[in-house]
Amino acid sequence: MLDLPDRASVYEVGPRDGLQNEPSPVPTATKVDLIQRLAATGLPYVEASSFVHPRWIPQLGDAEDVFAQIERRDGVRYAALVPNMRGLDRAQEAGLKDVAVFISASETHNQRNLNRSIEESLENIRQIMEALQGTGAWVRGYVSMVFGCPYEGHIPLENVRHVAAELLKLGVDQISLGDTVGHGTPRSVNERTRDLATDLPVEQLALHFHDTRGTALANVVAGLDAGVRIFDGSIGGLGGCPYAPGASGNVATEDLVQMLHGMGIDTGVNLEALVDVALFVEGRLRKRLPGRYLRAARGLYEG
Amino acid sequence: MLDLPDRASVYEVGPRDGLQNEPSPVPTATKVDLIQRLAATGLPYVEASSFVHPRWIPQLGDAEDVFAQIERRDGVRYAALVPNMRGLDRAQEAGLKDVAVFISASETHNQRNLNRSIEESLENIRQIMEALQGTGAWVRGYVSMVFGCPYEGHIPLENVRHVAAELLKLGVDQISLGDTVGHGTPRSVNERTRDLATDLPVEQLALHFHDTRGTALANVVAGLDAGVRIFDGSIGGLGGCPYAPGASGNVATEDLVQMLHGMGIDTGVNLEALVDVALFVEGRLRKRLPGRYLRAARGLYEG
């Protein structure tokens, strides 16, 4: 029998993980509008932008402007990725309290994506956490390639455990375990997550699935059964990873919320409002997004 | 912990359940080619056509020609839907041994789809089974709307159990439980299937999911955990139900096989060959099919 909870949380990463992969930059005003609409649906967390150098991700080069313009709602965390001390400085100048840091469980991916070793990344995150001491910041740590890597293939579970445990030791509040290119299967997600949860606090673990092979929601079920209660989504299924060949978008937030609600798992999110936001994104980007439920909900199936 | 097997079977319904929903008829030669390609991948069952009156499903009006032209492989069942005695006569004249019958767990859907009550449908199937006695036929029984109905909403589990148990009593060899419009959630699939399996033989049960809300593969995981070992797929995700508003295609066979293999569950199907067939279908129908894995496998993601 599946082991299912009554409640789970959905974390929205679309404005960052989604929009960083859009071929052309989205106007700042549209981003601000999107972030506010997302926050209004009841999502507890909206990852709004990234303070990675604009040379690397020009799509999010307006992070300061975005944070200057959003009107914050109580009860919603608005965070951004910070890659290093320079990014943290920019984030703090922009008035951010909560941030997200990132690292890979794959040495090769970490080198290619971040141009440093995993140990150097941990040292970098240690500096960030030190600088954040006493600020009341809440920090999310992304660990990518948890279920496999396009460069290295199999990633030993002990590497994942090491990186996640080090982040928690450094004071990171929540670890998002990323199936960055969709290698995870319901079996590997269930087994790996259960195994990690034997010595890491499961309430601090989130799962971040990409839908490369269409198994993201199946992986969510496997993650629920393993005790995880926090799942990342990207509105409409926006996204991917520009440094991870073959990666497609994140699981669509509205598909995730729809499935959870259908299973009697409350998320506190207004699904109808979320579908409206997905349709808003489609309209602004002038393209069809991969999310499934928004088509079913609106009767938009083609022929 | 998920309860997962080492082996499962995948039944292909695309040439029937998929092609019956194509707006324009596919040439007979293409159908024959498709069926033969599917059978060559190692699938144990290919539902090749339907002997429903061509007035209702003109797309499959060439069933006789299809069966006259396919070259049969050992170890593969080539079946067709038969709605009534007239359809059975046509099927038998076309040399068919194995057939599929169908009925709904929803009285309203049965009335609208088949123009008779559930009890009349059972009587009709009784006649078909009687006519098949001594012929060595293997019979599949579809029960639709098992997890909900667009007309009636909730379908009491006892209605499903009654219909499925009656079919088995009549000698039907396998029951395919259909989530015809994608109402099923991993929780309801897990709970309903476990419950049905307490008094119906689980080895005679299959699950048939549509991917309306993107949860078909998640439902497969829930079905595996409930003990089911047979799942229906439609190549490329072709299909839907013309009499069920909002229904989208079946889960794509190659997505299903990919997930099962990724979980270490053998199907006996050659996944590479299956992806080739899906691409063949896209080429012949000149449209993009909803299957996910064929894009990932071939690096065909768009920008």
A33 Cβ contact list (under 8 Å, min separation 6): A280
The pLDDT tens digits for B189-241 are: 999 999 999 999 999 999 999 988 889 999 999 999 999 999 999 999 998 55
- Contact yes or no for A296 and B212 at CB 8 A: yes
Confidence of residue B170 (pLDDT cuts 50, 70, 90): very high
The answer to whether A227 faces chain B, any CB pair under 8 Å, is no
Assign residue B246 a region (left: φ > 0; alpha: ψ between -120 and 50; beta: otherwise): left
* Closest among B178, B171, B146 to B159, alpha carbons compared: B146
**B-chain residues within 8 Å CB-CB of A214?**
214, 217, 252, 255, 259, 291-293
Q: Alpha carbon of A20 to those of A230, A239, B259: distances in Å?
A: 22, 7, 28
**A-chain residues within 8 Å CB-CB of B275?**
none
The pLDDT tens digits for A205-254 are: 999 999 888 899 999 999 999 999 999 999 999 985 544 444 568 999 99
Confidence of residue B287 (pLDDT cuts 50, 70, 90): confident
Round to the nearest angstrom and report the end-to-end CA distance of chain A: 38
- Contact, B182 vs B144, CB < 8 A? no
Q: Single out the catalytic residue among A125, A132, A241, A274.
A: A241
Closest CB from B187, B190, B220 relative to A218: B220
Distance between CA atoms of B157 and B149, rounded to whole angstroms?
12
User: How do A174-179 and A205-209 pair as beta strands?
Assistant: parallel
**pLDDT value at A170 more than 70:** yes
**A-chain residues within 8 Å CB-CB of B222?**
2, 221
The answer to whether B225 faces chain A, any CB pair under 8 Å, is yes
Q: What is the mean pLDDT of residues B282-292?
A: 88
Token readout for A166 is 């080090």
Residue B233 to chain A, least CA–CA distance (Å):
14
Q: Which residues of B are tagged catalytic?
A: 241
**A-chain residues within 8 Å CB-CB of B1?**
190, 194, 225
**B-chain residues within 8 Å CB-CB of A187?**
2, 4, 262-264
Residue B296 to chain A, least CA–CA distance (Å):
6
- Contact yes or no for B217 and A220 at CB 8 A: no
Distance between CA atoms of A221 and A2, rounded to whole angstroms?
8
Distance between CA atoms of A294 and A301, rounded to whole angstroms?
10
> For a pLDDT cut of 70, what percent of chain B falls above it?
95
The pLDDT tens digits for A249-275 are: 899 999 999 999 999 999 999 999 999
Q: Alpha carbon of B181 to those of A260, A263, B139: distances in Å?
A: 18, 16, 24
Q: What is the mean pLDDT of residues A54-76?
A: 95
The answer to whether B218 faces chain A, any CB pair under 8 Å, is yes
Confidence of residue B182 (pLDDT cuts 50, 70, 90): confident
The pLDDT tens digits for B37-46 are: 999 999 999 9
Distance between CA atoms of B109 and B104, rounded to whole angstroms?
7
**B-chain residues within 8 Å CB-CB of A263?**
185-188
- Contact yes or no for A218 and B214 at CB 8 A: no
- Contact yes or no for A263 and B212 at CB 8 A: no
- In this structure, of A73-87, B127-141, B143-157, B277-291, the range with the lowest mean pLDDT score is B277-291
B287 Cβ contact list (under 8 Å, min separation 6): none
**A-chain residues within 8 Å CB-CB of B248?**
292, 295-296, 301
Amino acid B236: pLDDT: 94
Q: What is the mean pLDDT of residues A166-175?
A: 98
Residue B186 to chain A, least CA–CA distance (Å):
7
**pLDDT value at A300 more than 70:** no
Amino acid A180: pLDDT: 87
Q: What is the mean pLDDT of residues A187-193?
A: 97
Distance between CA atoms of A110 and A120, rounded to whole angstroms?
10
Residue B53 to chain A, least CA–CA distance (Å):
22
The answer to whether B215 faces chain A, any CB pair under 8 Å, is yes
Amino acid A1: pLDDT: 87
In one-letter notation, the amino acid at residue B2 is L
Amino acid B208: pLDDT: 97
Confidence of residue B242 (pLDDT cuts 50, 70, 90): very low
Q: Quote the pTM value.
A: 0.91
The answer to whether B220 faces chain A, any CB pair under 8 Å, is yes
- Contact yes or no for B259 and A218 at CB 8 A: yes
- The beta strands (E) that lie in chain A are given as 9-12, 45-50, 77-81, 99-104, 139-144, 174-179, 205-209, 230-233
Distance between CA atoms of B110 and B244, rounded to whole angstroms?
11
| ipTM greater than cut 0.90 | no
What single DSSP character describes residue A74? T
- Contact, B271 vs B13, CB < 8 A? no
- Contact yes or no for A213 and B182 at CB 8 A: no
State the average pLDDT for chain B: 93
- Contact yes or no for A23 and B303 at CB 8 A: yes
Confidence of residue B300 (pLDDT cuts 50, 70, 90): low
- Contact yes or no for B296 and A248 at CB 8 A: yes
Q: What is the mean pLDDT of residues A176-191?
A: 94
